[in-house]
Structure 1
Amino acid sequence: MYITDLSIGTPPQPFRAIIDITQSNLFVPSWNCTKNPDRYEVEDCLYHLMYDSAASSTYEPELTPAKLHYYGVYTWGNLSRDDISIGDVSTTGQIFQEASMWHPAYLVDWDEQYDSALGLARFHATNLYDDFNVTSPLENMVQQKVLDRNIFALKHPRTDDEEGELILGGADESFVNSIITLPLINTPAVGNDLNFIAFASAGWQVLASSLSLDSYLDNGPLEIPLPNYIALLTNGYTNMMFPRQMAHQIAEHLDWTDWLDDFSCEKRHRFPNVTIALGPQQHRFVLSPWQYMHEVVDLEGRKRCTLPFHPLVEDGEHPNYILLGTAFLASWYAEFDLDKETIGLAYRDDY
């Protein structure tokens, strides 16, 4: 979960927004949420900063009913319009959902850490639950010409103590000589596969050509060709996902039976490097176990590691794709260029 500050209204009202490259609809809790007769619904809202339309001189009512689902949180409310700011970038007349009901699903508690999501999808991301489709903050930045360049860059933090960086309208010039540029492809988000539709519709997709793992224990190197495969990039999901048969090959290679198991991070050095070839030039991106593994802390305060390779649920017309979440993306400085229609990746040597 990657959080930035976002403000809405005049004077500005602050919110904590998840930076999500596969989200487009903007939403915030409303002060009207506190008027709900259900006290449990009110309590869910009180964990959040809430938007007060009466306190903003630039607020304009839209009053269209709207519902939304975002990673286990369901919201209902109306559409509203107001000015927004992220850092020194501001746009006017942004339409967003003003949620008068905020309902996390059972056992969902991570929503207490954020109030909104800053959607940086290239296209409008399709969510089959949402019943509204409005111009995203990123689209408004481009249309209102408030960016120096139609580009944004991300350096994701790898630990809770580390700060990341979001650059809107520019790039980190220290990576100019090392960045590898990958052309984006546009595969229609159609069919019945909800995983594919949700992430492909956001538009950050590139060609993939192979996946390989170095030798492990008594197993020699594992080479998996990916002919005509699509790699979907997202920071809204932590793991990397592969077709079920491919995930089974990886599990056999690593002598692993349950992807949810954790283990002592002291064993991390035994695991192999992973290489993914992307783009028409088949650029090879190598990840060490220190890069692709997740670190968690168990109930006894011990540092534990988990593997990020998970099987996709394949139920649609696009079986030839892989999903690369932050287990991949956080290892690289990333530039997203809307005009050139490219993603640039550069290795970060601050590991």
Structure 2
Amino acid sequence: MKISDLGLVCVACTATLIQAEIFSTPVYSVARNSTYAQAKRAAAREDRIARSRTNSHKKSEVKKERARVSRHVRHIEDEQRILKGPVGGVENDDEYLAALEEGRFLDDVRARYGSGVPEWDWNELVYVIDLEVGSPPQSSRALLSISDNDMFLPSVDCTNTCHSHQLYDPSLSNTKTWIGTLFAMDYARCSAFGNLVSDTITFAGLTISQQFGAVDSVGRFTDPDWGNLEWDGLFGLAPSSTHSPHSIPNPTINLRSQKLIQIPVFTLLLPQTPDTPGILTFGTIDHTRYTGSLKVLPLLNHTIAPQTRSTMLPDLITDRWQIPCKSLTISGTSSFYNLRSYIAILETSYPGIGLPSSLVTSLHTYLGMEFRGYDVPPSIPCSRRDSLPVITLHLGDHEFPLTAYEYTLEVDRTDIGGHRCVSLFMEMEDEMEGDVKRIVLGSGFLRNWFVVFNLKEREVAFGKVGVVGIVEEKYEV
């Protein structure tokens, strides 16, 4: 069954549809500059200032810190990043200390994504959903990730690194079962260690039996600059056809196997404004949430060789939402950038649109983007957006045009000159999946589309975001 079989038909055909309860949950954007995170950063900044005043070895510490923040990343075979070599210094220690106190130099972002992630305030950085766990239910808020295919929650045994979080207490649940297996995972934002447990999880109005990690140690979990204080655990929806590395069935697969939905499909509409939540829906496609027709692309994996790509390309990994690339073009010009040697990976945890460094440099130059600081994205006066061209990504057999209102983000900050529009195009090194280079279509791209993720057919469909409607339909298999 293809996406087209999920009821994507004209209104006259709705007699074939089954009206049923809608299984959906709000998706909230977590801002790095939320009030809670700001308070935590301010407290940490005051601590740094106090320490600097009493530190007799300040210059030595500054030298060490300078070396740390001036490093760049390189890739190693297991796709982890290690740091090497200084790439510059700071001439004025006083100015440098002031920058540190203001939190302008942050830590490990580059260790995950290279130089492509700006180290400053983004309005929307991560997305979360609310869960209830166990019987009686315990509340939790989980990071929504389409890049991971398992789940974890911090437990009451996590006493050192899980402060300020809602902790899962297995002893209070009548439905928990210990699996007897250790849980250990390294994610983009944290590493988690603990034990596998099975318990009931309630989300989107559905309750399933789900295995997950009840973790007692979480690394890199207390950095408020990445919104970590706003979420407790992780809820993964990556497209592994069966299991995660810990043999944990994907929640969507569980919903289907436990006969709670008819079709292993979910749809995602990211928040359109900081004050309006998005929506995550299971087993259902709401055609009122997009305009035009859906653009359907095959998910690249080891069993499907895309016809649009070179036969010399190797088999690809199977646990990510990844689709074929063709090119990028700019309206009103003959500019053409060939992307056939790349795959496009969809990630809700990546804030922008990650493209090859040379392409981003060319785009920023052509668009007249201004650079106003080392750790600040290039920007333009927002009044210029109407005069900027449409930039089109060609993915598979479809075109995805982006206007300047979609490839820039409005911000209001004194360090870039007040009200400006920053670029969402981010430089990426030639990151490899096997022997294939990749680009990343993060939230800067995804929030412009209503996205259908079909696990059964391993397809992804995109509908241009339109006026949100109220009629939702469930389809008969």
Q: TM-score by structure 2 length?
A: 0.61
For residue 69 of structure 1, the aligned residue among 186, 190, 195 is 186
Residue 96 of structure 1, aligned match among 206, 212, 220? 212
Contact kept in structure 2, 1:200 and 1:232, CA below 8 Å: no
Question: Helix, strand or coil for the counterpart of 2:149?
Answer: coil
* Partner residue in 2 for 1:180: 295
Q: Is 1:171 aligned with 2:285?
A: yes
Distance 1:246 1:209 in 2: 14
Query: How far apart are residue 256 of structure 1 and its match?
Result: 4.4
Q: For 1:1-351, list aligned pairs within 5 A.
A: 1-34=126-159, 41=160, 44-92=161-209, 94-104=210-220, 107-109=223-225, 110-123=227-240, 132-174=246-288, 175=290, 178-187=293-302, 201-215=318-332, 220-256=333-369, 260-279=377-396, 282-298=397-413, 302-314=418-430, 316=432, 317-350=434-467
Cα distance, 1:51 vs. partner?
A: 0.3
RMSD: 3.0
Residue identity in the other structure for 1:180: K
2-structure distance, mates of 1:323, 1:298: 26
* SS state at 1:11 partner: coil
Cα pair 2:134 2:199 within 8 Å, conserved: yes
Q: Any conservation in 2 of the 1:73–1:111 contact (CA below 8 Å)?
A: no
Partner of 1:195: none
Query: Number of paired residues?
Result: 323
Contact 1:72 1:108 in 2 (8 A): no
Say if 1:222 and 1:253, in contact at 8 Å, map to a contact too. Answer: no
Whole-angstrom distance in 1 between the partners of 2:348 and 2:139:
23
Aligned residues of 2:165 and 2:229 also touching (Cα < 8 A): yes
Specify whether residues 261 and 107 from structure 1 end up closer, same or farther in structure 2 by C-alpha distance, changes over 3 A only: farther
Provide the rounded CA distance (Å) in 1 between the counterparts of 2:157 and 2:317.
35
Q: Secondary structure at the match of 2:162?
A: helix
Residue type at the aligned position of 1:96 = F
Determine the C-alpha separation between the residues in 2 that align with 1:19 and 1:70.
13
Do the aligned partners of 2:369 and 2:380 also contact (CA within 8 Å) in 1? Answer: no
Letter in 2 for 1:23: D
Counterparts of 2:401 and 2:211 in 1: how far apart (Å)?
41
Question: Residue deviations 1:307-330, cap 9 Å, x none?
Answer: 122222225443443221111111
4-13 or 297-306: bigger deviation = 297-306
Runs of at least 5 residues in structure 1 that lack an aligned partner in the other structure:
35-40, 189-198
Q: CA deviation at 1:263?
A: 4.5
Q: Secondary structure at the match of 1:85?
A: strand
Q: 1:10 is aligned with what amino acid?
A: S
Distance 1:86 1:299, change over 3 A: farther
Structure number, greater radius of gyration = 2
Q: 3-state SS of the aligned residue for 1:310?
A: strand
Per the alignment, do residues 170 and 57 of structure 1 end up closer, same or farther by CA in structure 2, a change over 3 Å counting?
Answer: same
Q: Distance in 2 between matches of 1:15 and 1:107?
A: 19
C-alpha change, 1:107 and 1:21, in structure 2 (3 Å) is: closer
The one-letter code sitting in structure 1 at the alignment partner of 2:428 is: L
Identity %: 28
Unpaired stretches in structure 2, ≥5 consecutive residues: 1-125, 304-315, 469-477
Instruction: Find the residue that maps to 1:253 and give its secondary structure.
Output: helix
Deviation at 1:243, TM superposition (A): 2.6
- Change in CA separation of 1:320 and 1:76 when aligned onto 2, cut-off 3 Å: closer
**Normalising to structure 1: TM-score of the pair?**
0.81
CA 1:72–1:232 in structure 2 vs 1: closer, same or farther (change >3 Å)? closer
CA distance in 2, matches of 1:71, 1:206: 21
Q: CA deviation at 1:126?
A: 11
